[in-house]
Structure 1
Amino acid sequence: MNRRDVLKGLGLSLGYAIATPGIMSMLQSCKTEASLWVPKLLSIDEGIVITNLIDLILPKTDATPGALDVNVPEFLDLYAFKTYDEKRKKTFKKGINGIMKALNINEDNSVAALKTEDYDALLAKYLKASKEQQELYRQEEDKENKDVILFNALSNLRSSSIWAYKNSELIGEQVLAYDPIPGLQIGCGTIEETSGGKAWSL
């Protein structure tokens, strides 16, 4: 097995990707205007839904760009389309389908009718559940259980979004602590002394 296969397998087993140069270039290539983005793996409606969920997970603030500013939804769709095998694509789509059902999107209820409160309530129910409840979701043996599917889909969406966000060029260079030519090693310094209290960009 070659190094690329090992890294890819490790990334999939952890639920997110290892930041290899190829993946990073894919992330930096996602620069489509949000209104013009056409998903590769997801449907248009599914793309709208994950965009709105990701915007709530990592919103823009006065101090930092949001996930939509670095095209996280476009990247996650493209990454799944290009790198997931058929089994993983099926699992990914199953989770997104569960989210669509939970938001009651069907022929009678379009995505356009949803409000921010609808997305927020869904995220709160699963991602802000008590630690005990989240552990029950993780330990549930019935993987077809609707709540388990939703918890896993939303948890994976959140962790993947955070990973993609932190590895984007804009965030790495302008939000996180960034040193293009590291050289000075401060062994016993505090995080405030070494990076101004910020996490280091990789």
Structure 2
Amino acid sequence: MILYHLDTLGRLQEGMLVNLSPASLSVFGRNYVSRFQRHDLLHSLETGTLPRSLASLNSATFREFVVEFHRRHHPEVKKMMRPSRLNSFFATANVDDAVLYAERHDYHGPLRVFEIQVAAATPCFDMTWLDRDFPREINPSVSYYFRKYWAGELFEKDLDVCIEDSRKSLREFLITSPALVRGKAL
């Protein structure tokens, strides 16, 4: 399968093998686990006990904590057996979606999009469910978005949320197996 990755860190090179495994943290995962440690959140992830307050977290750290918390502990999501984003390398289906990702996340660095080849089946989710500034609490309305993300549902098909947010779906692939960087696509 050929996918596309926006290289925001400037680390990829043609011919490079990105060694990924569902059992080890990716660069993305190491970054967020470090943030979780600083905010004393790892115990909550391990036990399923919500921390007293999430108010001090920035938007991205809150999102990644809650998406992982739901994956591990929400009864519906837990049954789905989804891969952790903390073990993942992210890609899109095409170059245009990689550019859209950069726009949605206010990325202003050089647009370095690489073609990535993966051999294993790669799950796909609509990141539009997560692409917002949530209130810093876990409640049923917040959980709705995270459950929909893990269920793999398309954001643009949910007529209730599209009334307030007309953005189109933006699908991301969570790669957790070795991936070959074939070359620069943009």
- Relative to the length of structure 1, the TM-score reads 0.21
Higher helix share: 1
Using CA pairs under 8 Å that are at least 6 residues apart, name the structure with larger relative contact order, 1 or 2: 2
Which structure carries more strand by proportion?
Answer: 2
Normalising by the residue count of structure 2, what TM-score does the alignment of the two structures yield?
Answer: 0.22
Q: Which has the larger radius of gyration?
A: 1
